[in-house]
Structure 1
């Protein structure tokens, strides 16, 4: 669908005059292109970006375009500011109307007004997104029509400085959440005492399109307040979270977590807030098998930032840590528990040679009813993963740091930006009890998409270290995150010797994709149907990033230089002068894939050997019939030779085909190609040849049968006793043919 039509369908009728006039801007671009063509590019070449040279009192077409573009940006900005002012006033009035002694009728009216304000904020966000997309599209169209005067990159930067684009209304969501909470009369839940109660605890993760985040937030805050742990670290309704994950050069912890091995570890150091870390949380997560009734364990203790490096290097001992806890007045039981965890994590770091590897950074919003954890939500937005050890600079260990120096620049291959928000729903309900209806409705809605066992650490490692991992998670195949993966893919020339060694190991051990199997007959569904649909987002992407990264990612799964037999195999499927996809995604490969290829090869060989055996036997029979005087044997011997000369070349052709396909398919599997490895043309060709051969044999047999009858009927040869029956059959057949 053309964007102009899309804009007309999606715009709100009440606000229609205030949207970007996409058609007028597009017409001005056509005028600019026509003027440039008419003047042979002379006038247009004088106009660069927003600096316009005037040649007469009349504006140039391109000058008219930029003036109109500025007017449209200003129009959208003024209307957005007007809407925000109005909504803030309504919100303040509603907040002043809320008090404890509300009557039921008043409470319902205030709830309806709060929902109406929430709906208006959603409409405002859609308005901003739609107009931003319109400017983005029109600038792209300008650069395409007028490549001699590109302006998109500059003007997008200018657009990002506009208040209506930078607008952050998260603090208003907190106010709205508090209003909902007060109107509902929420009370803080108290700790449950008494007898122990069995609870079913479950955690499920979902992806949310950027354009749907506000809608999900609005749904949650209508039923549950924002849970603020520490107001100092919060910006609006969210706080910044940094987590530094540890691993070694063989990615032992990554592969253990990916394979969900019992006891698989994840070790990280986390801090909260936008400032440099002061108080750090050293955490350890241990995976347990839930189907065995075991629960995964998450433990942590705190350390001052200055003690993290000595702790990692083993210089800060457990005895010193215990003394610090006693000075704070901690109980001996708490000290013993914390000291045990302190020693175990320190021993793991030393024995496994762990080091800072990947950092995740995101804005986290938490939603919880006081201290009642039966239903809680965490929503992570602006999710970023980056390499903790910079490329071409001293590592953290060499520079005496435990996290990346923020003063160092971050290159494209050192960072990946996740395009979706991640919602985590935690339920701790008594056995037999269902979640609240609104939670069930949200879980079944189209706003969120479940991604089983999604892990930020696993995704960041798989994306930033593609040449080192032996396996990748199943969600890496999803089309909706492909561009972000390609933007971070390294160029082939940037892969160092260690990476090349790792890739050799990866080629010897096929790269696998862990996770749910696709349905039978739907192998390519994950490559063509985005997990989150095709909804547009406001994520600004580098134009050359995806294409360039597409070339570099092919380093992992692309074929090597052309081999001598490639031209011979050019007629086979998957090798017919097709340009490889820019988005090469590794597929799931297992030993059974190689075994299936071998079984197919042996099946073709079995057919070929059977045909060859029949042909050889017929040749032997024909040789023994040459010296016999019986016309039946003479004519029949010619037929046998004809059949043998058809079947024997056919069997040789099948052997050659089976061998060539087996070699080609084995190479495709070994190189982890994302193309099809089934042959869609060869079997049809062979079946056609077999049908033609059998037809030729049938026709030749019919002709031979008539010829043999004529020979025996016209000659004076008397058939021996053992052929009398055959002669009688020929006579009967001849009489029938004569009647016809």
Structure 2
């Protein structure tokens, strides 16, 4: 579909007058006019085009800025109501939040599609009229009118704080739609870790590495194919897509379901012990997603992709090795799912990403990991053109660059794209029970991690040495850089304009000002979060600090988690074939490459460490101060005292029924007091035993329970009132107070 047609279909009707006038700009280019000497592109034509282009830029920027400010003001009004403890209509508040979320989502889409339109029309202009280059002008104007670089995270974080307040006030509210929208912008609290992406200029690379080395050691990979240990292994990912780039657009637009497929390996495929994995990932933004990952030998890959080979030999070996039936069935199901996914979406290898990796982590402590990918090279691998395919359609990859150390030397122009910066990724393990959105702009979510790593990480990530690029993905960048001229590519990532800048390095003073702005944004939500916390019981969550491990600093390459290329975390219920459907008898299916090549790995405990069945506080003998036991016993004695008083009153009243003015009322009162006596004794005993169990279990439950005393107090009050009324009626006149 042509971009102009796609733009008309994607326009949000209420804002239709504020989009780029793509068709008008295209007509000004006179693309379909046959050139002749009399109608050459002139200075006046260029002026008209540039004026129209600049006018549209002003229009889009003004609208985007105004809408963003309106949304920010609307959130500010809600925050003001919450902080001032005003009466709030919770139903209306929920609808308002949903409207703001919908507008924010539409505004982000508005910015993306307009940025793509401006980029495409300028490329078309420079191709048709190469004498007049407009691309530098567009870059200058985009810096002055940065509608495409607006970060919506502050808005979403503030909304998350407001929504936390709403959840605490109305836990039964119908909020599924808001939760789904929020999850597409923010990190879900059900994820094991959170990922943050940055770009690093080559001039700053060494300084960044040395800063990290002061706190985290480099993981040294034990490469079995080499006599030397590999510090920076070369990793390769081969991404799949179809001719319409549907998977690319799904990832870029963060659809509800964003599937992807890739092959991955370390080193070269020609290596004898080379291990290749095929991985299908399905990220569902409304629920926790998962992936399916299979080890596969190179000779079987082509047949697997074509659907002619269904891993029969592997399945047969599993059965002959007496692998449990459920594992065999699960393996066969995964094979079927991946092959169906390839067939139904007409997928083929289209883009190769090749890079070297340096990882920093304390062995045995996976709470903080830093990954740096450098020398990133994207290579075309498609066979879309049947007449002149880049890759042999009968092969699953390009064989002409397999054994080449520097593929750029043998590739033609347009077949590769060198990424100019290193990609730095921080992975911080989430603290259980803590919403990552509640941490504002701070990377560290765990208090124990913050005490050890928080300061230096915050200093590095807010410094002039790195540039944050949220949601950066090698898959998206590779497709956009290699196929950006294709009319079927209807959307481009917003960070492309930053790549076209001469230098991403910023002045330290400017970095300080940006960090100050972030702190102000964080302060805006502090009062709201405090208000939300004041109306709810504190969340209980505890983490066990990772202790020293016997693991050596030299690990195999598969023991390193790789880049979380498209998402900020790993769902807890990830379906990992590494554990569910492992094949112990095949050496090539071992764990050597498993972790390093997965884009989003689950956190793996170090060797010899298992997840405890009970918390540390619940192990060992119960050590409770004596005064705690005595306080519980003292309370029980008080209840025994009350029971004794009630029993004495009961039998005294019952023995004097004959002398009462109203014998029937006196009898009922005596029976009621007897029931209260039994209740008092039972309540005192049950309270004593329940508190005793809480103390032994170190439970966090409240020990107070006012129901019992209230029942006795109300019952005694009613007895006195009934007795007074009955006596008053029987005598027929008021009873003197001295009687």
What TM-score, normalized to structure 2? 0.36
The higher radius of gyration belongs to: 1
What TM-score, normalized to structure 1? 0.36
Structure with greater contact order relative to length (CA < 8 Å, sep ≥ 6): 2
